[in-house]
Structure 1
Amino acid sequence: MATGSKKVIYAALAGNALIAVTKFAAALYTGSSAMLSEGIHSLVDTGNQGLLLYGMHRARRPADDNHPFGYGPELYFWSFVVAILIFAVGSGVSIYEGIHKIQDPHPVTSPVVNYVVLAAAMIFEGVAWYIAFKEFSVQRGTRGIVQAVRESKDPTVFTVLFEDTAAMLGLVVAFAGILAAQLTGAIWLDGAASIVIGLILAGTAVALAIETKSLLIGESASVEMVAGIRQIIADHGNRISSINELRSLHNGPHDILLAISLDFRDDIAAGELEEIVYALERAIKHQFPSVRRVFIEAQSVYRHAQIVGEEAALENEGKAG
């Protein structure tokens, strides 16, 4: 797993743990619902970073008989769990607390304490956000932010970036809600800020769930990588008639499974075919180190099309049934 990803998570973990304790202390002292929601937010984020580290640890386990392709997808699973926790705990509790405060309003005491805590939190969160964004920028290269998130195979960095962005927005909302309640005397605005924070968390959770779900059910290698692999095969074109099929699957951010069906020339001896397969596998892994396993099948175009047709027929029968 990339060292940069761990650095991002550790920075966020340390910052959120300190901020959570400070926010809860301020919420208990002042009675602010918005501050309590922010404390819950930071506590959930702290737990989420712990889950991401746990997922990274589990994903590094070597392959065994029960999991012959390794445990890489565990990282995607725990990233999806993080999205669920943000929605269920962070968003749910914040919205509940906000509604409760609106129904049973009580003044915020010593609002200056909240302002100081929020200002300090903005500094800590800002540093964590910068570290996450810097690492994300390295990974995305020249791509746009939305495109980079959609194409990223490493959920750790963009998960922390999403969380930190939501945290910054939540701090601004909490500050505005407490200030508005103090200046206008409308105590319910503190509760309204808590609801808005909950909605921000809900939106963040939905976005993360969509991205991590796609990774969890299986994404292919990048278009650029697939094109590069096809070019490697094309370099052996005098002995390969055609590519019947090329399938790739990410088992982890840096763990790709590759399956290729090739139609070799009929006049190639078995020994020569074996050497070609060996040369192809070495060339692919050398150019693309993330490709951990390569399976190359020798099959005629006709027989491959026949099998594909039979599979399609069976699938249609299943749908009809």
Structure 2
Amino acid sequence: MATDSSNKTIFAAMGANLAIAITKFIAAAITGSSAMISEGIHSVVDTGDQLLLLLGIRMSQKPADDRHPFGYGQELYFWTLIVAILIFAIGGGMSIYEGITHLINPSPLKDPMWNYIVLGMAILFEGFSWTVALKEFLPTKGKQSFWQAIKNSKDPTVFTILVEDSAAILGLIVALLGIFLGHLFNNVYFDGIASIVIGIILAIVAIVLAKESKGLLVGESANPQTISNIRSLSKTEPGVKEVMRVLTMQLAPQEVLLNLEIQFSKNLTGEEIALTVESLEAKLRQHHPEIKQIFIEAKSLAATRQSSQSSE
């Protein structure tokens, strides 16, 4: 399941976005800035997204039952996909619409001072939230690049907040530039263009998140290092002749389903094979506590029975 660090990241982001949304809409009402309205929408969507992630975490922690024998861990992946859709449809779509509307019907420029104050505060708030998310993400990154770490991550809550906050900071910079350039050149169209650019940024972020969430939702394997360790640990067990296939499925951030196809030594008795399986399961759970379900298929059993029947 999602860890306490995931909750910490979400609460930090939600608090920052709620405060930012209020100040952005106040500034937009005072100045009439299209970019500020888009940024306000962006912050409201982000706040709603974090509530959905918390819902996903809660739903994923429901115990397994007869209808869902492997639990509800993938609920989190489903709600992460919903978050991506909302970012694309509401955040990106409304920002682009607001920008186009402003270009068609531009409003007169007003004193930008409130916009600068609010955007400055927003950058500080978003920077704090981004720092919290980054601190939670870096331990999982290791030697991978950021993009590889995001693709290989099995906890969408942390990388979703990190990507959202990165897009938010970039959007704030775009809004700041749009307002500044609009007043510098006395051109009302810079503000609308900034709003459209913010919408495009949100749409790109949504597509990235949707792609990663889809991979987890439809059944993604455990990370390559875990699979390699499983194979190595299995080979160290006496009585294991060959590890034929290692099949894994990520059911939740800290929950993996494992199916092993193993060829045991032919001289092992049924009791010895059972003891070997029990020992191997204990070893795997000790080194990888995230493996909750283990199924081991003994390939040599069928071969042994066939050879014994043919000799008779």
Q: TM-score, normalised by structure 2?
A: 0.94
Taking the aligned partners of 2:207 and 2:3, their CA distance within structure 1 comes to: 26
Query: Which one-letter code corresponds to 2:255 in the other structure?
Result: D
Name the residue aligned to 1:246. Answer: 246
Aligned pairs for 1:253-264 (under 5 A) are 253-264=253-264
Taking the aligned partners of 2:120 and 2:229, their CA distance within structure 1 comes to: 49
Query: Which one-letter code corresponds to 2:5 in the other structure?
Result: G
Name the residue aligned to 2:307. Answer: none
Deviations 1:147-181 (A, max 9, x none): 11111111111100110011001111111111111
Name the residue aligned to 1:267. Answer: 267
Secondary structure of the residue aligned to 2:266 is coil
Secondary structure of the residue aligned to 1:180 is helix
Secondary structure of the residue aligned to 2:70 is coil
Name the residue aligned to 2:98. Answer: 97
Taking the aligned partners of 2:246 and 2:34, their CA distance within structure 1 comes to: 55
Question: Which ranges of structure 2 fall in alignment gaps of 5 or more residues?
Answer: 304-312
Name the residue aligned to 2:278. Answer: 278
Q: CA deviation at 1:235?
A: 1.4
Name the residue aligned to 1:314. Answer: none
Name the residue aligned to 2:67. Answer: 66
Name the residue aligned to 1:319. Answer: none
Secondary structure of the residue aligned to 1:28 is helix
Matched positions, count: 302
Aligned pairs for 1:29-108 (under 5 A) are 29-108=30-109
Name the residue aligned to 2:126. Answer: 125
Maintained 8 Å contact 2:266/2:300: no
Secondary structure of the residue aligned to 2:167 is helix
Name the residue aligned to 1:307. Answer: none
Secondary structure of the residue aligned to 2:137 is helix
Deviations 1:169-202 (A, max 9, x none): 1111111111111121111111111001001111
Deviations 1:110-137 (A, max 9, x none): 3111110101001100111111111111
Maintained 8 Å contact 1:244/1:301: no
Secondary structure of the residue aligned to 2:172 is helix
**Cα pair distance change 1:104/1:301, threshold 3 Å:** farther
Name the residue aligned to 2:165. Answer: 164
Maintained 8 Å contact 1:98/1:195: yes
Taking the aligned partners of 1:266 and 1:181, their CA distance within structure 2 comes to: 79
Taking the aligned partners of 1:151 and 1:23, their CA distance within structure 2 comes to: 35
Name the residue aligned to 2:178. Answer: 177
Taking the aligned partners of 1:230 and 1:161, their CA distance within structure 2 comes to: 33
Instruction: Give the fraction of aligned pairs with identical amino acids, expressed as a percent.
Output: 47
Maintained 8 Å contact 1:9/1:156: yes
Secondary structure of the residue aligned to 1:200 is helix
Deviations 1:13-43 (A, max 9, x none): 0000111011111111211100000000000
Taking the aligned partners of 1:58 and 1:202, their CA distance within structure 2 comes to: 27
Query: Which one-letter code corresponds to 1:108 in the other structure?
Result: L
Maintained 8 Å contact 1:258/1:294: yes
Question: Which ranges of structure 1 fall in alignment gaps of 5 or more residues?
Answer: 304-321
Q: CA deviation at 1:257?
A: 0.2
Q: CA deviation at 1:271?
A: 1.8
Taking the aligned partners of 1:301 and 1:202, their CA distance within structure 2 comes to: 54
Name the residue aligned to 1:306. Answer: none
Name the residue aligned to 2:187. Answer: 186
Taking the aligned partners of 1:160 and 1:215, their CA distance within structure 2 comes to: 17
Taking the aligned partners of 1:138 and 1:227, their CA distance within structure 2 comes to: 20
Q: CA deviation at 1:63?
A: 0.6
Taking the aligned partners of 2:233 and 2:203, their CA distance within structure 1 comes to: 45
Taking the aligned partners of 2:237 and 2:125, their CA distance within structure 1 comes to: 55
Secondary structure of the residue aligned to 1:266 is coil
Taking the aligned partners of 2:268 and 2:134, their CA distance within structure 1 comes to: 52
Name the residue aligned to 2:141. Answer: 140
**Cα pair distance change 1:257/1:107, threshold 3 Å:** same
Q: TM-score, normalised by structure 1?
A: 0.91
Deviations 1:185-223 (A, max 9, x none): 111111111001001111111111111111111111122
Maintained 8 Å contact 2:116/2:176: yes
Taking the aligned partners of 2:301 and 2:39, their CA distance within structure 1 comes to: 60
